[in-house]
Amino acid sequence: MNLKRHLALTRAGIMESLQYRLGTAVTLFANLIYLVLVYFLWKAIYASAGTDVVNGMTFTDTMIYLILATALFNFLEMFVVWDMSRSIQSGKIILDLLKPMNFRTYTFWSYSGSHVVLFALTFVPTFIVVMIVTNGAIPMGINLLYFVIATVFALIVNFSMEMIVATICLYTESTWGINIVKETIVLLLSGASIPLAFFPEVFRQVVEYLPFRAVYDIPLTILLEKNGTDTLEGLLPMFGLQLAWCVILTLAGVLFWNHSVRKITVNGG
Amino acid sequence: MSTNTITKQKERRGFGFYARIYRKILVQDLKSKMSYRADFVISTIGMIMTNLSGFVTFLILFKNFPSINGWDYHHMLFLYGFSLIALTPVQCFFDNNWNLRFQVQSGDFIKYCFRPINVFFYFMSEVFDVKGLGQLAFGVGTLVYAWVNIGIPVTPLVILKLLLFLLTASLFMIAIMNAAAATCFWIVGSGYVMVIMFRFKDFAKYPSNIFHGVFRILFTFVIPIAFVAYYPSLAILESDNIPVLTWCAPALGVLFFYLSYKFWMLGVRKYDFTGS
Amino acid sequence: MENAIVMKNVCKDFKILNRHEGLKGSIRDLFSRDYKTISAVKDVSLEIARGEIIGYLGPNGAGKSTTIKMMTGVLEPTSGDILVNGVVPYKERTKNSEHIGVVFGQRSQLWWSLPLIESFRLLRDIYMVPKKEYEDMLELYRSLVDIEPILHKPVRQMSLGQRTLSDILAAFLHNPAIVFLDEPTIGLDVSMKSKIRDLIKGLNQEKGTTVILTTHDMGDVDALCKRIVIIDEGKKIYDNDIDHLKSYFGSYRTLRMRLSDDTWEERVIDESKEDVMDIIMKKQKEQKIKDIQLQEISTEEVIKKIYEGGN
């Protein structure tokens, strides 16, 4: 694999993201306000609960979890589905397919640049602020490394899901509908809007084996060293789950994509 | 030699004119939408899913925490339903805001500037979003359920008040989305502003007295999510000591809508149209 | 009679951010306040009479679109005056747009999912065209082109040619005094091109509409325009009859000679410097010439010469 060529895409992506300087500043600011909303809501919720710990989560835990989930969300968010539907409508998809690089690889590396920028501009600052404000609530050790690894896995799982949904767009013009279904399911079942710890027992047991959890919940659980992830025995199943979904979803995505593209070329799309 | 219409004095384009044009576009639009039934079905499923997911989140929250800031389950449900209904107009009539960014960037937006009608109207009239109606049904169901359980008496006056304040509440949400969309005239890559403003609406369904200090002012007067459900619904929920802001809401709603419209139009004027 | 369009000393400047190259440059731009001013249109004056078809030409980025946008009231000139039908377009955009029609590039202005006839009906209502005038216009359309096959077709299902046709028809529907056509034949096949040219000519003759045509296709210019205006780097560099343009470069002709081996030799001759007969005679001494052709230089070549700075 020609890494240099791929990194050129990353570099182009970084440069493109930086062009939108005002946009970036506004994004940061809007995020901050969003976090303030989250803070007030949960402060009121905990104040009304009367106890400090609910389902093993203190107010600080919940806040860190949700704030970092939002930061992760911003950093992981991709518009593959929208891009795909637009390039299908404009016919640009044909050009994309003709590029001397596998379409999936091309898309992945094109996005990598904006991922790098967003990670540096949204996630890292948020993380530092949260770290300082909560004053030692985030364990600082080897878990940081594990967290980064888990995030890379999360990125791959997220990308695979995006690609699968984007492939569906080859069959229907209803991008909005497809996309909203995906977004809704991911946000709810990954723990991005409410920590999975609050879910009712039966529901949670099911959700824990689904791929959505690999995107937000696992990296954050590892970061906060919850659920026994401070030990290797606790950690390995988490990574195992992520890895398994990476493989399954990538494979499923590639097969689905190839099958669909063949169908299009046959029908002359 | 020329039969051009230059000297002809035409009647003014008033409210009646715009209502007629909108109705005609709407009818045509619905007709053509009928031919894309798959899209309609999938979109409707999507809409139901989002609402269902919002509802599940709400239930999970209340399973863990029995009340929020003194608001019990049914009162919270009332707020929830109220906010869903209030969000319907922005969804149905102003959904084209989401396309603004792309049209401005590609230069396609210029086409709205060549017609002798209001640019804002022309732009918004292009999209009527049927999906919003699904949300409306969901909201009405929730509101009625909460209403019955709280035991609010049904009188013509209360219904009238409800309609007035629902309309008021929807104006605030429209204003927020107009302003958020219009940022794209100045800022390239501001798409995220809309996304996050749209997510702010999820907080409209919580009592705004959870906010304190400067943020209470921020969420009341700058990004007025407190007016999307909380203040207007107090007019129905409270029998006495209704806050002053509730009574101010209708006037403020009109004001916010007007300001957002002016901001949007300022963007049109300011935009350089070099996108070609 | 007052002119359709009057422009006096019109200038338009744009302020743009000075971008730097490379990754480092991108990061620097994040904080940079380094703007530069670009003059898109420099001191252009222009008068266009009613009923004229004007070819408005210039290389890419010369300022054509900017001028059109100022005439349609979308852009405000930095300095200078514009009057379109006696209206200042920027100040009274709505009033101005009552009396103009615009076809802008390949961007359809019609309702994408509606059949053409429904778009027409909506436009009729928007421009408040009286019923009689509307019917007459449709009748005129029918006499000029075969519109029946596209009338009930949604715009999204049309071919590019049909879409362009529809857009032009829509632009004339409210019988505007002036119609702006920006590259109306771009990307079309030969027969569609001539169909569209005939339509424009027919509408111009029937309705006395002033037409401002920007194009890169000299076929359009030859078929439609008597007068052309050429703009380059924001400045007006030519404004006169198309015939005059040729006399401008009229001393140039192309001489083609068929030689004994049946090949054609071709050369452009500047008659002010050399004589055609001299050249033929000189050649004939070298070898036998079986045939000769003398061609006027084409508009295309003249324009090319002007763009290349042969002013």
Interface probe for B, chosen from A14, A17, A28, A33 (most Cβ of B below 10 Å), is: A33
Is the Cβ of B106 closer than 8 Å to some Cβ of chain A?
A: no
Of the candidates C22, C23, C29, the beta carbon closest to that of A21 is on C29
Interface probe for A, chosen from B99, B127, B201, B210 (most Cβ of A below 10 Å), is: B210
Q: Classify strands C210-214 and C178-182 as parallel, antiparallel or unpaired.
A: parallel
Residue A10 pLDDT? 73
Of the candidates B43, B56, B186, the beta carbon closest to that of A174 is on B43
- Sheet order of strands, C210-214 included: C100-104, C178-182, C210-214, C53-57, C227-232, C235-241
Residue B132 has pLDDT above 60, yes or no: yes
Phi, psi of C56 (to 5 degrees): -110, 105
Instruction: Give the start-to-end residue ranges of the domains of chain A.
Output: 3-267
Q: How many CB atoms lie within 10 A of CB B34?
A: 9
**C contact chains, 3+ CB pairs < 8 A:** A, B
- For B205, the domain range is 15-270
Residue B228 CA, chain-centre distance (Å), reads: 9
Helix H or strand E segment including C15:
strand C5-17
Residue A269 pLDDT? 43
Question: If you average pLDDT over every residue of chain B, what do you get?
Answer: 86
The domain total for chain B is 1
Is the Cβ of B158 closer than 8 Å to some Cβ of chain C?
A: no
Top-confidence residue, C289 or B227? B227
Nearest CA-CA partner of A85 in A181, A187, A162: A162
DSSP 3-state of A57: strand
Helix H or strand E segment including A143:
helix A142-168
Within a domain: residue B2?
no
How do residues B164-175 score in pLDDT, each as one tens digit?
999 999 999 999
CA distances from A135 to A41, A86, A229 (A): 21, 46, 21
* Start-to-end C-alpha separation, chain A: 31
Residue C117 has pLDDT above 90, yes or no: yes
Determine what percent of chain A is predicted with pLDDT higher than 90.
Answer: 11
Within a domain: residue B5?
no
Of the pLDDT bands very low, low, confident and very high (cuts 50, 70, 90), residue A22 is low
- CB distance A48–B206 less than 8 Å? no
Q: What is the mean pLDDT of residues B11-39?
A: 83
CA distances from B207 to B224, B231, B271 (A): 13, 9, 38
Of the candidates B20, B116, B276, the beta carbon closest to that of C127 is on B116
Nearest CA-CA partner of A249 in A129, A175, A154, A141: A154
CA distances from B211 to A39, A117, B60 (A): 9, 32, 22
- CB distance C29–A11 less than 8 Å? no
Of the candidates A27, A48, A176, the beta carbon closest to that of B192 is on A27
Q: Which residue of A has its CA nearest to C156?
A: A89
Q: Could you write out the three-class secondary structure of chain B?
A: CCCCCCCCCCCCCCHHHHHHHHHHHHHHHHHHHHCCHHHHHHHHHHHHHHHHHHHHHHHHHHHHCCCECCECHHHHHHHHHHHHHHHHHHHHHCCCHHHHHHHHHHCHHHHHHCCCCCHHHHHHHCCCCCCHHHHHHHHHHHHHHHHHHHCCCCCHHHHHHHHHHHHHHHHHHHHHHHHHHHHHHCCCCCHHHHHHHHHHHHHCCCCHHHCCHHHHHHHHHHCCHHHCCHHHHHHHHCCCCCCHHHHHHHHHHHHHHHHHHHHHHHHHHHCCCCCC
CA distances from C252 to B38, C28, C247, C268, C289 (A): 64, 52, 9, 7, 22
For residue A191, list chain B residues with Cβ-Cβ distance below 8 A: none
Determine what percent of chain C is predicted with pLDDT higher than 70.
Answer: 91
Residue B7 pLDDT? 42
**A contact chains, 3+ CB pairs < 8 A:** B, C
How do residues C91-101 score in pLDDT, each as one tens digit?
888 889 999 99
Residue B29 has pLDDT above 60, yes or no: yes
How many contacts does B have with C, using Cβ atoms within 8 A? 92
- CB distance B110–C209 less than 8 Å? no
Cα dihedral A135, A141, A146, A151 sign: positive
- CB distance B21–C93 less than 8 Å? no
Nearest CA-CA partner of B82 in B130, B141, B153: B141
User: Where in chain C is CATH 3.40.50.300?
Assistant: 5-246
- CB distance B57–A184 less than 8 Å? no
- CB distance B210–A27 less than 8 Å? no
- CB distance C122–B25 less than 8 Å? yes
- CB distance B42–A48 less than 8 Å? no
Of the pLDDT bands very low, low, confident and very high (cuts 50, 70, 90), residue B272 is low
- CB distance A23–B206 less than 8 Å? no
Residue C250 pLDDT? 60
Q: CA-to-CA distance for B173 and B256, rounded, in angstroms?
A: 9
Of the pLDDT bands very low, low, confident and very high (cuts 50, 70, 90), residue C26 is low
With contact defined as beta carbons under 8 Å apart, do B60 and A194 qualify? yes
Q: CA-to-CA distance for B113 and B121, rounded, in angstroms?
A: 11
Measured over all CA atoms, what is the biggest interatomic distance in chain B, rounded to whole angstroms? 81
How do residues B200-251 score in pLDDT, each as one tens digit?
888 888 888 888 888 889 999 999 999 999 999 999 998 778 888 999 999 9
Top-confidence residue, B35 or C94? C94
> Residue A52 has what DSSP assignment?
S
Q: CA-to-CA distance for C133 and C119, rounded, in angstroms?
A: 16
For residue A21, list chain C residues with Cβ-Cβ distance below 8 A: 29-31
Top-confidence residue, B132 or C106? B132
- Give me the half-sphere count of Cα atoms (radius 13 Å) on the Cβ side of residue C148: 3
**B contact chains, 3+ CB pairs < 8 A:** A, C
Top-confidence residue, C1 or B192? B192
Residue A21 has pLDDT above 80, yes or no: no
Alpha helices in C12-57 (DSSP H): 22-29
Tell me whether residue C219 is exposed, middle or buried, using C-beta atoms within 10 angstroms of its C-beta: 0 to 12, 13 to 18, 19 or more.
Answer: middle
How do residues C205-259 score in pLDDT, each as one tens digit?
999 999 999 988 888 888 999 899 988 888 888 888 877 776 666 667 788 888 8
How do residues C153-206 score in pLDDT, each as one tens digit?
988 888 888 999 999 999 999 999 999 999 888 888 899 999 999 999 999 999
* Radius of gyration, CA atoms only, chain A: 20
Q: CA-to-CA distance for B138 and A175, rounded, in angstroms?
A: 22
- Token duo for residue A32: 């901050």
Q: What is the pTM of this model?
A: 0.82
How do residues C296-306 score in pLDDT, each as one tens digit?
777 777 777 77
Question: If you average pLDDT over every residue of chain A, what do you get?
Answer: 82
Q: How many CB atoms lie within 10 A of CB A99?
A: 10
Residue C249 pLDDT? 62
Residue B55 has pLDDT above 50, yes or no: yes
CA triple B53-B56-B59, angle to 5 deg = 155
> Residue C173 has what DSSP assignment?
T
How many contacts does A have with C, using Cβ atoms within 8 A? 17
Within a domain: residue B261?
yes
Is the Cβ of B268 closer than 8 Å to some Cβ of chain C?
A: no
CATH, domain C5-246, list 3.20.20.140, 1.10.760.10, 3.20.20.60, 3.40.50.300 = 3.40.50.300
- CB distance C208–B2 less than 8 Å? yes
ipTM of the complex, rounded to two decimals: 0.81
> Residue C10 has what DSSP assignment?
E
Residue C118 pLDDT? 92
- Residue the block writes with tokens 């723990």: A191
- Residue the block writes with tokens 């084209």: B96
| Chain C interface residues (partner B, CB cutoff 8 A) | 14, 50-51, 65, 69, 72-75, 85-86, 93-95, 97-100, 102, 104-105, 107, 109, 111, 113-114, 118, 121-122, 125-128, 154, 174-177, 207-209
How do residues C55-68 score in pLDDT, each as one tens digit?
998 888 888 888 99
For residue A14, list chain C residues with Cβ-Cβ distance below 8 A: 23, 26
Is the Cβ of A264 closer than 8 Å to some Cβ of chain B?
A: no
For residue A11, list chain C residues with Cβ-Cβ distance below 8 A: 23
Is the Cβ of C26 closer than 8 Å to some Cβ of chain A?
A: yes
Residue C23 CA, chain-centre distance (Å), reads: 40
Residue A2 pLDDT? 64
CA of A19 vs chain C CAs: smallest distance (Å): 7
> Which range, A131-145, A148-162, A222-236, B59-73, has the best average confidence (pLDDT)?
A148-162
How do residues A96-153 score in pLDDT, each as one tens digit?
777 777 888 888 888 888 788 778 877 888 888 888 888 777 888 888 899 989 999 9
Residue B11 pLDDT? 57
For residue B229, list chain A residues with Cβ-Cβ distance below 8 A: none
Q: CA-to-CA distance for B145 and A197, rounded, in angstroms?
A: 29
Of the candidates A14, A21, A24, the beta carbon closest to that of C23 is on A14
Q: How many CB atoms lie within 10 A of CB C149?
A: 9
Q: CA-to-CA distance for B162 and B144, rounded, in angstroms?
A: 12
Residue C19 pLDDT? 67
Of the candidates C102, C126, C208, the beta carbon closest to that of B21 is on C126
Of A56-70, B33-47, C226-240, minimum mean pLDDT range: B33-47
How do residues B219-233 score in pLDDT, each as one tens digit?
999 999 999 999 999
- Please enumerate in sequence order all residues whose Cβ is within 8 A of that of B239, keeping only pairs 6 or more positions apart, or say none: none
- CB distance C29–A14 less than 8 Å? no
Interface probe for C, chosen from B17, B34, B115, B125 (most Cβ of C below 10 Å), is: B115
Within a domain: residue B3?
no
CA of C216 vs chain A CAs: smallest distance (Å): 24
DSSP 3-state of C182: strand
Residue B6 pLDDT? 42
Residue B105 CA, chain-centre distance (Å), reads: 24
Residue A70 pLDDT? 82
